[in-house]
Amino acid sequence: MTEVDLDLRTDIRWQLIERITASPSFQKSTRLRDLLRFMAERTIHGQPQDLTEHRIGSAVFGKPQDYSVVEDSSVRVHVRQLRLRLHEYFDGEGRDETCIVEIPKGAYTTLFRMVELRSAQPIAEKTPPPPAQPAVRSWSRLLPWVLAALLFLTSLVGWLHHPSVTKRAPWPLAALFDSDNRSLQIVVADVNYGMLRLVDEQPVTLERYLSPSYRSGDPISNAHPTAREARVLKYLSGSLLTSYADLVVVNSLTRLAGNSSDLLTIRSARELRPRDLEGGSFVFVGSPSSNPWVYYFQDKLNFQEREGVVGESPKFFQNLRPKPSEQNTYQGLAFTGNSGEDYSTISMLPLPNGRGSVLILQGLQQEGTEAAGLFLADAENRQKLQRALGISDAPSQPVYFEALIRTNAIAGSSNATSIVATRVIHP
């Protein structure tokens, strides 16, 4: 940034920004420091016209003036990271700040909010020193402190000898943990697979995805790439990348798992093999267009992902057996990063051989997938889902189901979510 003017340096809001960007967590990322300073400076000076995704990309990240925010999501990714860093600062080093900085979801402005000190002790009023009291009165003043110390020691001993409270995973995640303490495998999407589909402009079946030719870097069926393009395609075929939405889902599931979080293992869709599905518990993150293993269970679902021309037609969920008041199709965003409605499904199914269960969280775009994970992380939403399915808080038997979820996305971030339709699955 350019030299800060005197008015800005004397503003308590800017002084807070300087303390934040000087903290250890921000020292590791020059881009996040520059991003926060730019957004705060424009907010304080009342220049919201500069706080658009395109303007931030050009001013902070040096993007060309004609770059496309649809194709380049770097600003959205860094703003999401910035929100997390701000939460970390105010939960740790900055917990005694009297002003908090927030970035509302779907916006690029900084919000300064005054709060009361969270750890400071109240300052006692000055009073004249009391007159000297007899020794007996002095002991009487100490007695409450002695009793308090004894109570603390008693409580501490009791706590040390009391068994730790077990935080169990809530439904529906609890149904995936069995008594044998086997790991729950979270299979995240293969972003490279989704990108190769766009290059090839062809749908890819699970069989083709598993074929040696596809994995050897020769996925394009009707193209003659240059040497440079061939190297890029080979990289896409051989590397393991996933999306920000998948990270949000993994984080939500880890928190929900409670004391069972050490049983979670994360795998890429590219690492899985058909024999792995002979038994166990799985969570598949992403739709068939980003995680081809969902094809394996597609015929068991009522709400199935469809698309026309790959990369050109918006994807949608086909409602195979519509109920009254339901639509035949539910179309999502044209591209990730847009604003509007997107859809996702949350489904619980048994493995084909009955030796395990799977939870599938799939969105038409990344916003939908992210919304599915955030939906399950909210206790009130889980209760709404149970009521919609007509099941108890702690079902004694596995309940297999699918739920269609609507989310309102704003500039790449999922916002409000709601249940559109549900189905109980009878295997």
Distance (Å, whole) CA 200 – CA 315:
17
Question: Which two structure tokens, joined as six digits, stand for 317?
Answer: 């969920």
Give the number of other CB atoms < 10 A from CB of residue 230.
15
Predicted local confidence at residue 221, as pLDDT = 57
pLDDT tens track for 145-202: 445 555 545 544 454 444 444 467 888 888 887 655 567 899 999 888 877 777 777 7
Do the beta carbons of residue 210 and residue 274 sit within 8 Å?
yes
Give the number of other CB atoms < 10 A from CB of residue 3.
6
Those residues of the chain that have pLDDT short of 50 are 1, 119-141, 143, 145-146, 152, 155-157, 159-166
- For the chain, the structural domain boundaries read 6-114, 173-190+240-425
Half-sphere exposure of 12 (CA within 13 A, CB side): 7
Cα angle vertex 201, ends 363, 403, to 5°? Answer: 15
Strand order, beta sheet including 329-331: 303-306, 316-319, 329-331
Predicted local confidence at residue 388, as pLDDT = 94
Q: Which residue has the tokens 């709601």?
A: 418
**Eight-state DSSP code of residue 300:** G
Do the beta carbons of residue 291 and residue 189 sit within 8 Å?
yes
pLDDT tens track for 346-401: 999 999 888 889 999 999 998 999 999 999 999 999 999 999 999 877 777 788 99
**Alpha carbon of 31 to those of 111, 152, 226, 342, 349: distances in Å?**
20, 47, 34, 30, 43
Distance (Å, whole) CA 53 – CA 71:
12
Partners of 359 in the β-ladder? 283, 348
**Alpha carbon of 91 to those of 87, 96, 417: distances in Å?**
6, 9, 27
CATH for 173-190+240-425 is: 3.30.379
Q: Residues 6 or more apart from 86 whose CB is under 8 A from it? A: 20, 36, 101, 102, 103
**Alpha carbon of 329 to those of 337, 409, 412, 417: distances in Å?**
22, 19, 22, 18
Predicted local confidence at residue 364, as pLDDT = 92
pTM to 2 decimals?
A: 0.60
Predicted local confidence at residue 116, as pLDDT = 61
Partners of 345 in the β-ladder? 362, 404
Q: Residues 6 or more apart from 404 whose CB is under 8 A from it? A: 303, 317, 319, 330, 343, 344, 345, 419, 420, 421, 422
Question: Which two structure tokens, joined as six digits, stand for 355?
Answer: 């030796």
Do the beta carbons of residue 406 and residue 422 sit within 8 Å?
no
Distance (Å, whole) CA 140 – CA 138:
5
